[in-house]
Structures are given as C-alpha cells and as structure tokens.
Structure 1
Amino acid sequence: MTAPNWLKPLAWAALIWNLLGVIAFVMQMMISPEMLSKLPAEQQVAYANTPIWSTIAFAVAVFAGSLGCVFLLAKKALAYMLFIASLIAIIIQQYYNFMVIDSIALFGSNALLMPTLVIIAAIILLLVSRRGKTERWLS
C-alpha cells in the first residue's frame, strides 16, 4: 500500500522536534560550572547528582527518536522499534524527573508541560509507525 500524503510532513516535523531534543541533550552535557552556578541551589544539586542511567535514558530517547524519524521518512519499518526504544527511555527519564527528584517542586508546575508533550509525541510516532507496518507502507 502507498503511504498516506500526511506521512512525510509528519515525519519531517517529528524529526525537527526530536533534533531539538538532541540539542537539549547536548546542551545539558555541555553545561559549564559557571552556567550551573547561576541556577538556584536546588537545581544545581539536581544537575550535579543526575545518575548515569537517567542521562543514558535521555540520550536513548532523543537519538532513537531522531533515528526513528529518519527511518519513517525512508518508509522503513525499523522506525517502529526505534520509537519503542525512545518511548521506554522517555518513561525511564521521566520516572527520575518526577519520582526521584520531584521536578514540580524544583521547577514549578511548568515542569509538566514539556514532558507531557514529549510523551504525547512519542506515542503518536509509535502508533503511526505501527500502523505503517500493519498497512505495509513501511517495509
């Protein structure tokens, strides 16, 4: 079956979204002690004590999501597996953010907006790629 007309614009938009996540990851990895010192004390502690498993989850989430979008653009079914990996990593990362360090207490209620959008986008991409496999417009 031929892929629907909306697939390519969706995949491009999703790729841009995921690349913004890659940029956020790189910025977090490159935060300097000077930049860190300008944050409130509680946020400094949270950044300084981020466990490696949370950092790895962040990396997997954004890189698997970006690569999944590339495969979606190429109409390859491997996108589905990459979106599964990305969503699992997002859930692990958000577990740390909300259950371990309590992001809402650190950053306020606005801390809910971006993670909610990230989860919704990841679920949509997973569902689209699953449909693509089922309807055979991803090979």
Structure 2
Amino acid sequence: MAIRHGGRLVARLASTLGEESMSTNRHTYIAAAAILWNLIGLIIFVLRVTIGPEQVAALAPADRAVFDATPAWLLVVFGVATVTGVIGAVGLWRRAPWAGPVLGLSLAAVLVQMVGMYAATPAWQASGPAGLVLPAVIIALGAAQWRYASTRA
C-alpha cells in the first residue's frame, strides 16, 4: 500500500514537472516563431526602403504604380510595425511584462499600414481581392502574438 501511495506521488510530481516543461517548451517555440516572423517582416521593410532604381524599373507596371504612390508616412508606419514587432517578440521570449503593449503597438501600426496602403495607393487595382490574403494573415498573426503576450504578463 505504501508503494502505491508513493507511486501516485511520484506520478503526480512527474506529471507536474512534465506539464511545466511542456509549457516552457511551447512558450519557447511560440516566441521563436514570433521572432522569426517579425525578423522576416523587418527584412522586407529594409529591402523596401533600400530598393535601387534598376530594381524599381524591373517591377511589373501595377507594382511600380503602387511603389511610386506609396507616401513616406506609410513607410514610417511600416518601420514602426516591424521594429516594434521584433522588439515585442524578443520581449515575449524573455517573458517581459512590456511585450504585450509593444506587440499591441506593432499591431496598431500594421492596421494603419494596411488601411493606408489600400487608401493611398492603387494596391486594390494592382492585386484585387487576392491581395487581401497576405494582409489578413499578417493582421491575424499580429493579433495572436499580442493576445498571447498579453495573457502571459
């Protein structure tokens, strides 16, 4: 009988330790994915603001029209979205209490950027309804990161 009770205790302890370890591993994977996703966004931003004239000339006419019509303020918002996304994702990895608000700022900037892109440029004419898929994915992932970080603080 004593072994049986001791066995339950060991099993319960192992279960608790396993759940904590799984929770830590899950958090690490989520944070690593968030960092990677936001770094990809930052790379795209850097490529966008450093594109050379020969590369612009090689764009399809519809894409060039969007490029040429993009106002500078929209690039600033894009930069804010990506930089705060990376900073917030690193904060998420470190379990920093400020990660949620920083990722919330990133999400707000993404929303302004996406609305601005369709309001200030001919993006709709260039891509049509199919062009809404990537912005929707970006917004959904930003919202998921913000929500996850906000519940972990």
Question: TM-score, with normalisation over the residues of structure 1?
Answer: 0.87
2:127 is aligned to 107
1:18 is aligned to 38
Distance in 2 of aligned mates of 1:47 and 1:19:
22
Distance in 2 of aligned mates of 1:41 and 1:115:
21
Which has the higher mean CA deviation after the structures are superposed, 56-65 or 38-47? 38-47
Deviation at 1:123, TM superposition (A): 0.4
Aligned pairs (5 A) from 1:111-126:
111-126=131-146
Distance in 1 of aligned mates of 2:88 and 2:110:
14
Provide the aligned C-alpha RMSD in A: 1.7
Letter in 2 for 1:33: P
Count of equivalent residues: 132
State whether structure 2 residue 57 is matched by structure 1 residue 45: no
Partner secondary structure for residue 75 of structure 1: coil
Contact in 2 for aligned 1:61/1:87 (Cα 8 Å): yes
Percentage of pairs with the same residue: 25
1:79 is aligned to 99
Letter in 2 for 1:91: L
Partner secondary structure for residue 31 of structure 1: coil
State whether structure 2 residue 7 is matched by structure 1 residue 9: no
Encode CA deviations 1:22-75: one digit per residue, 9 max, x unaligned: 110011011111111111334323212321211011001111011101011111
More RCO (CA 8 Å, sep 6+): 1
Unaligned 5+ runs, structure 1: 134-139
Bigger radius of gyration, 1 or 2? 2
Unaligned 5+ runs, structure 2: 1-19
Distance in 1 of aligned mates of 2:142 and 2:63:
26
Contact in 1 for aligned 2:84/2:103 (Cα 8 Å): yes
Which has the higher mean CA deviation after the structures are superposed, 49-58 or 65-74? 49-58
More helix by percentage: 2
Which has the higher mean CA deviation after the structures are superposed, 23-32 or 3-12? 3-12
Question: TM-score, with normalisation over the residues of structure 2?
Answer: 0.79
Distance in 1 of aligned mates of 2:151 and 2:87:
18
2:148 is aligned to 128
Partner secondary structure for residue 77 of structure 1: coil
